[in-house]
Amino acid sequence: MLLRYFYDDKLAHASYLVGCQATGDAMVIDPGRNIEQYIAAAEKEGLRISAITETHIHADFVSGTLELAHRTGATAYLSDEGDENWKYQFADRIKSVLVKDGDEWKVGNLRIQVMHTPGHTPEHISLLLTDTAAAAEPMGIFTGDFVFVGDVGRPDLLEEAAGIAGTAEPGARQLYRSLQRFAQLPDYLQVWPAHGAGSACGKALGAVPSSTVGYEKRFGWAFQVEDEEEFVGMVLADQPEAPRYFAMMKKLNKEGPPLLNGCPLPPRLTGHKLVELVKQEAIIVDTRESAAFATGYLPGSWNIPLTSSFVTYAGWLLDYETPFYLIVDEANLLTAVRMLYSIGLDNVAGYATPEALEFWTRETGQELCIMPHVTPQQVKEGVLKGEIQVVDVRGATEFKEGHLPNAVNIPLGYVLERLNELPVHQPIVVNCQTGVRSAIAASLLRGVGMDKVLNLRGGFVEWATEGLPIERENGHG
Amino acid sequence: MLLRYFYDDKLAHASYLVGCQATGDAMVIDPGRNIEQYIAAAEKEGLRISAITETHIHADFVSGTLELAHRTGATAYLSDEGDENWKYQFADRIKSVLVKDGDEWKVGNLRIQVMHTPGHTPEHISLLLTDTAAAAEPMGIFTGDFVFVGDVGRPDLLEEAAGIAGTAEPGARQLYRSLQRFAQLPDYLQVWPAHGAGSACGKALGAVPSSTVGYEKRFGWAFQVEDEEEFVGMVLADQPEAPRYFAMMKKLNKEGPPLLNGCPLPPRLTGHKLVELVKQEAIIVDTRESAAFATGYLPGSWNIPLTSSFVTYAGWLLDYETPFYLIVDEANLLTAVRMLYSIGLDNVAGYATPEALEFWTRETGQELCIMPHVTPQQVKEGVLKGEIQVVDVRGATEFKEGHLPNAVNIPLGYVLERLNELPVHQPIVVNCQTGVRSAIAASLLRGVGMDKVLNLRGGFVEWATEGLPIERENGHG
Amino acid sequence: MLLRYFYDDKLAHASYLVGCQATGDAMVIDPGRNIEQYIAAAEKEGLRISAITETHIHADFVSGTLELAHRTGATAYLSDEGDENWKYQFADRIKSVLVKDGDEWKVGNLRIQVMHTPGHTPEHISLLLTDTAAAAEPMGIFTGDFVFVGDVGRPDLLEEAAGIAGTAEPGARQLYRSLQRFAQLPDYLQVWPAHGAGSACGKALGAVPSSTVGYEKRFGWAFQVEDEEEFVGMVLADQPEAPRYFAMMKKLNKEGPPLLNGCPLPPRLTGHKLVELVKQEAIIVDTRESAAFATGYLPGSWNIPLTSSFVTYAGWLLDYETPFYLIVDEANLLTAVRMLYSIGLDNVAGYATPEALEFWTRETGQELCIMPHVTPQQVKEGVLKGEIQVVDVRGATEFKEGHLPNAVNIPLGYVLERLNELPVHQPIVVNCQTGVRSAIAASLLRGVGMDKVLNLRGGFVEWATEGLPIERENGHG
Amino acid sequence: MLLRYFYDDKLAHASYLVGCQATGDAMVIDPGRNIEQYIAAAEKEGLRISAITETHIHADFVSGTLELAHRTGATAYLSDEGDENWKYQFADRIKSVLVKDGDEWKVGNLRIQVMHTPGHTPEHISLLLTDTAAAAEPMGIFTGDFVFVGDVGRPDLLEEAAGIAGTAEPGARQLYRSLQRFAQLPDYLQVWPAHGAGSACGKALGAVPSSTVGYEKRFGWAFQVEDEEEFVGMVLADQPEAPRYFAMMKKLNKEGPPLLNGCPLPPRLTGHKLVELVKQEAIIVDTRESAAFATGYLPGSWNIPLTSSFVTYAGWLLDYETPFYLIVDEANLLTAVRMLYSIGLDNVAGYATPEALEFWTRETGQELCIMPHVTPQQVKEGVLKGEIQVVDVRGATEFKEGHLPNAVNIPLGYVLERLNELPVHQPIVVNCQTGVRSAIAASLLRGVGMDKVLNLRGGFVEWATEGLPIERENGHG
């Protein structure tokens, strides 16, 4: 048996290829949209991808199952659990088998057994893997978004992101029961989840790639809760905001996402064209790091740096229907484009390099915009006197644990739709934890013309480090 | 003034960007289809491409004029010389100015003057460039396919490639008169042509990027011929075969080629899919070097190595309507695809890496094919006795200067359409000059099922070096 | 806690970085010589490498412990078990702590506990890892070359490779007892070994990166053997030959290997210089794949393709004192050089690209050499009649399971020192399993002037597939 | 004949390879230290570098002649003109021929004729190139630093940079006579110089790669001056400051520079080590662009961005004896290192990536430094009132043509040695033309503890554009 681990750190997404060297067959579990990587890996090992499966209809990235099945001719094994809202609509477009709890199939000498583990979603399955050539019992279980390392999948995502009201609590109860069942598995089984630290699909995921049933039972928080009611309360509390694009992903992954069929690279824009786009108020995403953006950017452009959070914020902020343009280094173009494609943002209409920005001044005679970064000391007086409005763009949970005095909390993803909550004539300081998210938010606010917006350098951490006053949910700090 | 030289050694094609730093304007002369390079260069110099021009309707590559005009909004200056068969049909789709002999325009402080120089084609113009800020007279002349370094553009290409009968001789006479006029220019002018050594647009192009009017007048062969009749005879003699794709290029470049709008990368095929394509007799182009191809290739696949001649042979052999597939290393994919696009072969339906070939044996139980390379000593007896049919795939001119005994001459580009001239049951040895073209030809012949085909290692050169008998046009050597 | 897995597939070597995000401390376990990767990973996570450890004195690659300690100032935790032959001699050149069974230390909130697990080597330790912030008990154990996935470390390597007589059996007994102790650990612990499939440090390593104590106890072969004597017999049987460079590695890793201090890239040789080196009979290693090598190589050059086995064969065949030269593509140079450095072959005196080979003919007038690949059908008669000497260069175990009639077995690593066993005037066919190792061996034999050597295409596998006669250890097949 | 042009835009340095395809011989003219490029180009064309020459002892980069001769065994043709101070001391370490005016040699069918053209330096020669197979007369002339496109080599460099007093005027007179002689050459000859726009070896070099004798005679400024005295005055006027490293280059290139023998890549530093180096006040060169540097840099570090001027400023500012460290992206490391090596700055002791800067705060608890960029409006009052000291770091010529009121002129290269001219307690604004050089200067001043230093964004250009008052040499603007 062979097992290969694929990790997309932009999505905190883990996928797997398992293969039987004896027969040359391989299966991919929970593929992402960049399917070339699985094809390349299988080829390198001399394996043929003859099966694909996924644990559930993903909400946080475009599934590669449909395209990989098209490209390889492999059979897709898809969950047939859950009610009619949870049926794969693309199943008949490829070779596919619908599976339920207890079903099993073989890939070469490997046996895969289905275990229905609802909670995160109703149709969610986990997959026990046995190397029948070497062992009578399974070696591990692919748990998808059911059990993570040190955490469990959140049952409220549907309600949060997909707007399916009233599903969070029943989901939490289902999850509780699924965990009870999981706890019956042998201690020594490896646990191979679909996400690592940083995913919005859970709240406390560890930065260790895999775990074991026994370790999770002993030390995973969810297994320490004895009472269902208590569990329901805990699992629903303090979950991070669900990115808005999750709803679109659910829909695409259920209906079947568009086939990429290779990788189109967008056209390069001239500086002149870029200037025209600014004048037309096109959506321009500047992927430079915030420090570079701050010292000179195009009016109206948004700063979403090409860090590991690029995908998340792009998914929050960009509209799936409207073409947009990138400011990106030539060397990072392919990476940026693949990231965007990974969540279905296929509408990249062109790109320009940072050098092209110089044409703004050349052609309009106007300077590039500057984004002032202010220090805690520079704004403390105004903040304490209430002369400056503080907008904290962290998540609600982070906010509750401590924030600047008189701050209002608008998580980054909601900034554009809650503009009306902000003062028009007052200076605004935007802060987050360390200054990264606030830089994005500040660029959004300035992009809609709020030119008194400042970014707090170092964020809440630096404010606190300097011993300045803090408020907490239930009183002053 | 700034002048940048771009050279595509696959096409032996030279293009230029000239700019006026004082005003920030720039012009591209004779752009190829990979327009990103001009945009990047202009941007680096802080210049805006505001003008584009080309010397004539090119036959050997897809012109970038239309797409570059679209992308930049620049004005295209296009020849209005020649009769109605030679009018740019896409001129009204962009900002354009039609120009005739004696016309001139400015790009910043640069003056461009049009000189009608027919011969290679009827509408061909050359462009005198003056840096008005520094000099009263021109610095040089962009000669397109009119005057090369040590050679002149061939006037027979239309008849040869585009099948326009009866144009070669009149073209030659026009060329003669254009040269007379060129010879009146000052000696010190630089000559900046559109092609370097290896182009099929001339027969003796030097491997020096530029020349001067005075040097060409003194040492260029065409200027040494005093008599028009003699010139016509000489310029039409012994021209290399015109690649078949030239006709398509002419048509595309007159009507306006499709816009690429970025660069689509084709999908990666699995080994399994590749096997299926072989069975369906799809067109598979294996870009490995001949030595590697020879030791194991897919039945029916063609070997067109990714050398500097890749474009030429792909253009000769591939059909513009039929999708085809590549065998190519991941690292070379972008290069290969860009080369194909440069001559309008946009129909790349997928690619696989050489590693995928192993799946042929794995899935069919059959070995990969082997292409025997034989040495002169191994075949000399059979060749001399006439038991082996020798097929020489070099050009007619090369063949005339010396070839193996009893050889038949079928230039590489015609091999597939002259199959009927070849014996069915006899062993065939294919040769060229050094073994490169014959490797391609041998793969084509084996691809259509002629399995007694052998490739002569080292080609005619090695045969001759070993002192074996040679025939020449007018008798034995 | 954070755990990162590093896998060098050329060495089948796994190393790990664990970190405590709370304090910013990190530790590397069993580092290889390419230490830049650990520094980069730590930096990306915002961690400082403050500790390094290794499970034992490695024999199959240059340890990175000394250089990493130098570069980072981290403390190295080194085994103080084993007798005086097994003491780290470089311990006092860096900050270091010598540790014994039962010792423990902290890296941030992580606790590491030492378990002495001799057998593979006397000083071998394993390391239990506990995330004290999250759990009271360990999460897993770094087992080095003690327990692999599905296998155990071989106790005979010292005797085999380092020539320390009489250590194999006592080692096997120690190993047996270490396993008994290991079996007392909780089932749910993860097992993180230092090697994956393909390492010569074991014989049946699985291609799955990690396992658990419980799974290994249930399904690992070594744990199924009840009796010590039986175990000793089994673990010593049929181990693959130990590469010769292992002895040098042991020595370097005990004394402290030379510091690389960056990565020197060797100079590029001209074709002319290369020709001179051939004439001087310098060691030239041609890294092209065998198919390309076979169609034209420099006299005397060795073919060691840049596959995942490159390091192993380079280590077997190259002398640590003599400078050598590479034939390698520009694009692969850095990879090749890093591979060689990883086993201490620092003596790369220059490289040339495959294109430079053409200069051989140009400057000497002689053809490049050709390596005939023959098929089973072409040689079967000669082989069966004994007119052709078959040399099987596979390992002894592979040979025993079936080989060509009348074949002699000389594993690849021993070919050059057992030349006297080969006939001088008889044609020789070299075979291995699939044709890869035999291609190397054939190049070595031809390199010493044996010009009747042929390589059997497809190797034993193809011979057998075609139904030709096979011999086995105990009689004819 | 074949001619290849190599251009190093960091050094504005042009070198050439000419080859005779008939014999396979090639010659390199004025090679730089990165000799791999010539070897690769020759190999690609199937040529052997059998000759090397240089026009003079270069002052602005490390010559590659010695190393290329070592690597290839080629013969170096070196000037034997000039007095004993101008003799190549390494000539006897390689195969070499000393040549004088009128000497000639062959490279295959190419003839090279020596023309002594002193002025820039006493031993300077130019080289006429004739393709004897095609022409009876030369095609062009390699003019080194004698005649450029639109300019001539400066005769004062020795006095300026190498401190050889009293050489500028005699050099100017020699140059005048050399130009007279040059003007006798035929108009149609091409002129191939060793520098393009931006080189400090002349003052008005054009951005066109080559010219002709006739064009220079008609439009080059130097040829329009009829009178020797006038010429001397003009050629010595307003030359840019000569970078300090030129003296070292002269010395190295006369004595023979150290052989690189490949390309050593420096070791990667951890964030922790970097912090230690800061504390030890090591020289740290931060290669990020100024905008990024300004928002957070290590105390004492210098900002020399990796632009095309990197080499010039590094050569001005770094000491040849003291090891230094780089902050550079992994992707740019090789480029940066090669640039430094190209002027002999071999002392790169290590590098860290920008990510490592975060460790400063982590380990010391202190913020990174910030470099305020101020706008003209922000400082105009202080400047006009004389409360802010303006330091203009442009060259003297630029300064004379217009500068801020009350500014003092200290060209960038002299900033560190003229610190005593600056006020201690007053705020200082540093400006240059556009803000690039002033950013470097500001980092140097802050590096020595002057923490009231500000950088004027947009420099003199922006100040002037906003209509603020300007002073000129001879009075207020």
Secondary structure (DSSP) of C230-275: HHHHHHHTTPPPPPTHHHHHHHHHHH-PPP--SEEEPPBPPHHHHH
Q: Is residue C144 part of a domain?
A: yes
Separation of alpha carbons A241 and A397, rounded Å = 9
Q: Is residue D265 part of a domain?
A: no
The CA-based dihedral angle spanning residues C288, C289, C290, C293, taken in that order and rounded to the nearest 10 degrees: -30
Chains touching D (at least 3 CB pairs under 8 A) are: A, B, C
B37: domain CATH number is 3.60.15.10
Q: Are D40 and D26 in contact (CB under 8 A)?
A: no
Q: Are D78 and D91 in contact (CB under 8 A)?
A: yes
Q: Are residues B342 and B461 in the same domain?
A: no
> Catalytic residue at A20?
no
CA C163, distance to chain mean position in Å, is: 17
Chains touching B (at least 3 CB pairs under 8 A) are: A, C, D
Contact B190 D187 (CB under 8 A): no
Please report residues of B whose CB lies closer than 8 A to that of D188.
Answer: 187-188, 212-215, 217-218
Contact C291 B289 (CB under 8 A): no
User: D265: distance to nearest CA of chain C, Å?
Assistant: 5
Best of A215, A223, A309 to mutate (most C CBs within 10 Å, chain C)? A215
Helix (H, G, I), strand (E, B) or coil at D90: coil
**Helix extents (H) in A110-201:** 157, 168-182
Chains touching A (at least 3 CB pairs under 8 A) are: B, C, D
Best of D16, D139, D151, D308 to mutate (most B CBs within 10 Å, chain B)? D139
Please report residues of B whose CB lies closer than 8 A to that of C458.
Answer: 367
Q: Are residues D360 and D406 in the same domain?
A: no
Q: Are residues A165 and A300 in the same domain?
A: no
Question: What pLDDT is recorded for position C203?
Answer: 65
User: D47: distance to nearest CA of chain B, Å?
Assistant: 13
Question: What pLDDT is recorded for position B433?
Answer: 92
Question: What pLDDT is recorded for position D205?
Answer: 66
pLDDT digits (tens, 9 = 90+) for C427-463: 999 999 988 899 999 999 999 889 889 999 889 988 9
Please report residues of D whose CB lies closer than 8 A to that of C356.
Answer: 43
Element (H, E) at A247: helix A245-255
Q: Is residue C302 part of a domain?
A: yes
Spatial CA neighbour of A91 closest among A99, A100, A83: A99
Q: Are residues D113 and D137 in the same domain?
A: yes
Taking 50 as the pLDDT cut, the residues of chain A under it are: 475-477
Q: Are residues B424 and B303 in the same domain?
A: no
Please report residues of D whose CB lies closer than 8 A to that of C49.
Answer: 270, 272
Q: What secondary structure, in 3-state letters, does A252-308 show? A: HHHHCCCCCCCEEECCECCHHHHHHHHHCCCEEEECCCHHHHHCCECCCCEECCCCC
Long-range contacts of D158-165 (CB under 8 A, 24+ apart): D158/D59, D158/D121, D158/D250, D160/D239, D160/D241, D160/D242, D160/D246, D161/D59, D161/D242, D161/D243, D161/D244, D161/D246, D161/D247, D161/D250, D162/D59, D162/D246, D162/D247, D162/D250, D163/D247, D164/D85
Which residues pair with residue D105 across a beta bridge?
D112
Q: Are residues A131 and A229 in the same domain?
A: yes
Show which residues of D are catalytic.
Answer: 432
pLDDT digits (tens, 9 = 90+) for B382-394: 999 989 999 999 9
Compute the mean pLDDT over every residue in chain C, rounded to the nearest whole number: 92
What's the length of chain B?
477
Compute the mean pLDDT over every residue in chain B, rounded to the nearest whole number: 92
User: A310: distance to nearest CA of chain D, Å?
Assistant: 17
Question: What pLDDT is recorded for position A446?
Answer: 93
User: C309: distance to nearest CA of chain A, Å?
Assistant: 14
* A37-67 burial code (b ≥16 CB/10 A, e <16): bbbbbbbebebbbbbbbbbbbbbbbbbbbbb
Tokens standing for residue A455: 């970014």
Contact D373 A295 (CB under 8 A): yes
Q: Is residue C412 part of a domain?
A: yes
Tokens standing for residue C414: 């021993």
Boundary (domain end) residue, out of B364, B398, B413: B364
Q: Are residues A384 and A340 in the same domain?
A: no
Q: Are residues A97 and A128 in the same domain?
A: yes
Separation of alpha carbons B214 and D424, rounded Å = 64
Element (H, E) at C335: helix C333-342
Separation of alpha carbons A423 and A410, rounded Å = 13
- Could you give phi then psi for residue D173, rounded to 5 degrees? -70, -40
Question: What pLDDT is recorded for position D474?
Answer: 63
Cα three-residue angle C70-C73-C79, rounded to 5 degrees: 80
- B331 contact A CB<8A: no
Contacts of D227 (CB under 8 A, 6+ apart): none
- B209 contact A CB<8A: no
User: A238: distance to nearest CA of chain C, Å?
Assistant: 19
Boundary (domain end) residue, out of D305, D339, D364: D364
Under the banding of pLDDT at 50, 70 and 90, the label for residue D477 is: very low
Tokens standing for residue A269: 């824009």
Q: Is residue C266 part of a domain?
A: no
pLDDT digits (tens, 9 = 90+) for C222-277: 999 989 999 999 999 888 788 888 989 999 999 999 999 999 999 999 999 999 99
- B263 contact A CB<8A: yes
CB contacts < 8 A, B to D, total 85
pLDDT digits (tens, 9 = 90+) for D175-226: 999 999 999 999 999 999 999 877 776 666 668 999 999 999 999 999 999 8
Separation of alpha carbons C322 and C280, rounded Å = 13
Element (H, E) at A251: helix A245-255
Residue C180 has pLDDT above 50, yes or no: yes
Under the banding of pLDDT at 50, 70 and 90, the label for residue C142 is: very high
Boundary (domain end) residue, out of C329, C364, C399: C364
Question: What pLDDT is recorded for position B374?
Answer: 83
Q: Are residues B211 and B240 in the same domain?
A: yes
pLDDT digits (tens, 9 = 90+) for B221-258: 999 998 999 999 999 988 878 888 898 999 999 999 99
- B294 contact C CB<8A: yes
Question: What pLDDT is recorded for position A475?
Answer: 46
Please report residues of A whose CB lies closer than 8 A to that of D291.
Answer: 291-292, 295-296
Q: Are residues D154 and D289 in the same domain?
A: no
Closest Cβ–Cβ partner in A291, A331, A367 for D292: A291
Closest Cβ–Cβ partner in A24, A36, A271 for B362: A24
The number of beta carbons lying within 10 Å of the beta carbon of residue D244 is 17
Q: Is residue B466 part of a domain?
A: yes
Chains touching C (at least 3 CB pairs under 8 A) are: A, B, D
Closest Cβ–Cβ partner in A1, A197, A207 for C208: A1
Best of C17, C37, C270 to mutate (most D CBs within 10 Å, chain D)? C270
| The one catalytic residue among B20, B201, B369, B432 | B432
What's the burial of D224, exposed, middle or buried (CB within 10 Å: 0-12/13-18/19+)?
Answer: exposed
Separation of alpha carbons C268 and C274, rounded Å = 10
Spatial CA neighbour of B112 closest among B129, B96, B124: B129
Q: Are B148 and B202 in contact (CB under 8 A)?
A: yes
Domain interval for residue B175: 2-255
Cα three-residue angle A123-A124-A126, rounded to 5 degrees: 140
Contact D214 B190 (CB under 8 A): no
CB contacts < 8 A, A to C, total 85
Q: Is residue A262 part of a domain?
A: no
CB contacts < 8 A, C to D, total 98
Question: What pLDDT is recorded for position B72?
Answer: 95
Q: Are residues D240 and D308 in the same domain?
A: no
CA A409, distance to chain mean position in Å, is: 21
Total number of domains constituting chain A = 3
User: C327: distance to nearest CA of chain D, Å?
Assistant: 14
User: B316: distance to nearest CA of chain D, Å?
Assistant: 25
The two counts, helices (H) then strands (E), for chain B are 17, 26
Helix (H, G, I), strand (E, B) or coil at A364: helix
The number of beta carbons lying within 10 Å of the beta carbon of residue C436 is 18
CA C465, distance to chain mean position in Å, is: 30
User: A334: distance to nearest CA of chain D, Å?
Assistant: 15
Closest Cβ–Cβ partner in B264, B276, B356 for A262: B264
Across C416-424, average pLDDT: 89
The residue in chain A having the minimum alpha-carbon distance to the alpha carbon of residue C132 is A219
Q: Is residue D53 part of a domain?
A: yes
Residue showing tokens 């840049």: C306
Q: Are A109 and A132 in contact (CB under 8 A)?
A: yes
Please report residues of B whose CB lies closer than 8 A to that of A328.
Answer: none
pLDDT digits (tens, 9 = 90+) for C363-376: 898 888 888 878 88
Which residues pair with residue B41 across a beta bridge?
none
C348: domain CATH number is 3.40.250.10
Spatial CA neighbour of D323 closest among D265, D274, D283: D283
Separation of alpha carbons B406 and B389, rounded Å = 8
Spatial CA neighbour of D344 closest among D271, D444, D455, D256: D256
**Helix extents (H) in B148-302:** 157, 168-182, 213-219, 221-224, 228-236, 245-255, 271-279, 290-294
Q: Say if the ipTM goes beyond 0.85.
A: yes
Separation of alpha carbons B402 and B474, rounded Å = 10
pLDDT digits (tens, 9 = 90+) for C26-84: 999 999 999 999 999 999 999 999 999 999 999 999 999 999 999 999 999 999 999 99
Across D141-168, average pLDDT: 88
Best of B188, B189, B192 to mutate (most D CBs within 10 Å, chain D)? B188
Taking 50 as the pLDDT cut, the residues of chain B under it are: 475-477
Separation of alpha carbons C316 and C33, rounded Å = 19
Question: What pLDDT is recorded for position D296?
Answer: 87
- A20 contact C CB<8A: no
Closest Cβ–Cβ partner in D24, D36, D350 for C268: D36
Question: What pLDDT is recorded for position D313?
Answer: 92
Tokens standing for residue C334: 């850095």
- C70 contact D CB<8A: no
Please report residues of A whose CB lies closer than 8 A to that of B363.
Answer: 48
Separation of alpha carbons C311 and C331, rounded Å = 18
Contact B458 C367 (CB under 8 A): yes
Q: Are residues D344 and D249 in the same domain?
A: no
Residue D415 has pLDDT above 80, yes or no: yes
Closest Cβ–Cβ partner in B291, B296, B331 for C296: B291
- C461 contact B CB<8A: no
Question: What pLDDT is recorded for position B475?
Answer: 46
Separation of alpha carbons C74 and C52, rounded Å = 7
Separation of alpha carbons A266 and B36, rounded Å = 11
